[in-house]
């Protein structure tokens, strides 16, 4: 565009050509505005109709997978987004064109209900556990059991976590990461600490750390969910995996002695937790571990994201949450699985299933895991040669687990987890001595939610 040389020319350039061409009057402008408003209203209605009705092309199951396929991704951060792009490139099927729609991670999660009831992408990212089963039982996601017939190398606990209440599979697992107690080996070596095997040893070690001027257990719960991890660890050690599952399914009473024991034990450990946790994010707590101000941290392996790659990340290790009851042991591991689901009425079912089959292969998982050293591939056939020390240990740890739990907010109803458990656990952290009142309140809220 050339610059205007005079002021008049400049002012004239401000008028859009369409306006300049027609000598416009007040009347016609008004009419135009009204027509515009009417049009806006109408298009809004049209959009509403479009999102309400689902596409009718469901019965047509083409023999050969071809055509276009849409892939809904919640990996909005730069590094995983790039890894997903490589993942799609790696699919490399000349007949199928995959279009990826990336949505911000939190937005995707918050809008999942409307997303699934509108026109979801053929294949999209989601989580295993109750969060998957819930949508499966509502008929909002597609059955992928025939994809599973061709999936090799998936461990049984992983398959169980991908199976809906009706025994069919609705989920293709991709990667996971364990929850455990993370620490820096250099600190333990320097001070002569040993990873504790039992709860009493944990208390002894914590007392020693306090004497040495360290915060024994880093802790943060501003976001509301990290405390769920500690609750799960204690519950799995005190009451075991089966109790965890039925408690999360609403079949056990929250004011039972078993649950009270979990809170009691936690209360015993609370003086060793970093204070003022309700105003701290997990990233800040992880940094206090990274800066060697805190000795241990109960978190998922994503804690490694706060450590720089290389030597810093190599000086990060973990051990299983110590045994509380020898009859229960430490065989249950919490390792949330991320993966993929298929829309209930995909526009291109054959291609979607072919793509899902590819996503479950060790090769596909390998592409992604390479980009994020804080997760591991779920497929046992995955090539672990490029793994970091931490990843190798995680593979061993998760592989040795007899049972795998997901996470409190993935194993129970989302409404219960977010509107009851987050305030309840924060309440416990604030006033840890009123366990009877707290558990009674949780139980009565649970009843109102699970029976509605």
Q: What residues make contact with another protein under the rule CB under 8 A?
A: 30-31, 34, 37-38, 41, 109-110, 112-114, 117, 131, 138, 140, 222, 224, 276, 278-280, 414-415, 418-419, 422-424, 426-427, 430, 441, 444-445, 448-449, 452
Give yes or no for a contact between 231 and 407, defined as CB atoms under 8 angstroms apart: no
Closest to another protein by CB, 57 or 448: 448
Closest to another protein by CB, 19 or 37: 37
Closest to another protein by CB, 104 or 110: 110
- Supply the minimum distance, in Å, between the C-beta of residue 234 and another protein: 21
- Supply the minimum distance, in Å, between the C-beta of residue 61 and another protein: 26
- Supply the minimum distance, in Å, between the C-beta of residue 403 and another protein: 25
- Supply the minimum distance, in Å, between the C-beta of residue 340 and another protein: 18
- Supply the minimum distance, in Å, between the C-beta of residue 409 and another protein: 9
Closest to another protein by CB, 68 or 418: 418
- Supply the minimum distance, in Å, between the C-beta of residue 127 and another protein: 10
Closest to another protein by CB, 326 or 452: 452
Closest to another protein by CB, 19 or 34: 34
């Amino acid at each position: 565009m050339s610059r205007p040389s005079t002021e008049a020319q400049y002012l004239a350039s401000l008028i859009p050509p369409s306006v300049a061409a027609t000598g416009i009057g007040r009347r016609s402008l008004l009419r135009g505005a009204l027509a515009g408003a009417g049009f806006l209203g109408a298009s809004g209605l049209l959009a509403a109709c479009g999102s309400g009705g689902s596409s009718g092309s469901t019965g047509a199951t083409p023999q050969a997978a071809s055509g276009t396929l849409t892939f809904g991704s919640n990996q909005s951060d730069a590094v995983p987004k790039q890894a997903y792009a490589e993942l799609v490139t790696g699919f490399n099927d000349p007949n199928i064109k995959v279009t990826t729609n990336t949505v911000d991670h939190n937005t995707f999660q918050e809008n999942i209900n409307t997303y699934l009831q509108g026109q979801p992408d053929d294949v999209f990212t989601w989580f295993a556990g109750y969060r998957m089963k819930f949508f499966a039982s509502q008929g909002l996601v597609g059955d992928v059991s025939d994809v599973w017939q061709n999936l090799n190398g998936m461990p049984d606990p992983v398959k169980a976590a991908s199976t809906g209440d009706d025994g069919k599979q609705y989920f293709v697992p991709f990667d996971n990461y364990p929850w455990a107690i993370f620490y820096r080996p250099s600190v333990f070596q320097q001070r002569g600490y040993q990873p504790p095997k039992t709860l009493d040893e944990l208390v002894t070690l914590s007392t020693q750390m306090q004497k040495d001027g360290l915060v024994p257990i880093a802790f943060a719960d501003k976001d509301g969910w990290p405390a769920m991890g500690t609750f799960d660890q204690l519950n799995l050690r005190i009451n075991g995996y089966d109790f965890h599952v039925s408690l999360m399914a609403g079949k056990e009473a929250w004011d039972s002695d078993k649950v009270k024991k979990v809170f009691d034990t936690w209360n015993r450990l609370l003086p060793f937790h970093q204070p003022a946790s309700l105003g701290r994010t997990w990233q800040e707590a992880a940094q206090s571990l990274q800066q060697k101000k805190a000795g241990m941290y109960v978190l998922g392996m994503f804690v490694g994201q706060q450590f720089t790659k290389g030597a810093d990340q190599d000086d990060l290790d973990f051990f299983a949450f110590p045994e509380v009851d020898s009859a229960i042991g430490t065989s249950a591991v919490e390792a949330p699985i991320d993966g993929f689901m298929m829309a209930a009425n995909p526009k291109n079912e054959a291609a979607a299933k072919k793509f899902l089959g590819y996503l479950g292969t060790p090769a596909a998982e390998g592409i992604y895991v390479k980009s994020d050293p804080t997760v591991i591939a779920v497929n046992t056939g995955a090539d672990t040669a490029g793994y970091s020390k931490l990843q190798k240990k995680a593979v061993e740890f998760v592989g040795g687990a007899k049972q795998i739990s997901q996470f409190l907010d993935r194993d129970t109803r989302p409404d219960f987890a977010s509107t009851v458990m987050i305030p309840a656990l924060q309440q416990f952290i604030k006033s840890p001595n009123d366990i009877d009142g707290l558990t009674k309140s949780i139980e009565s809220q649970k009843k109102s939610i699970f029976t509605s």
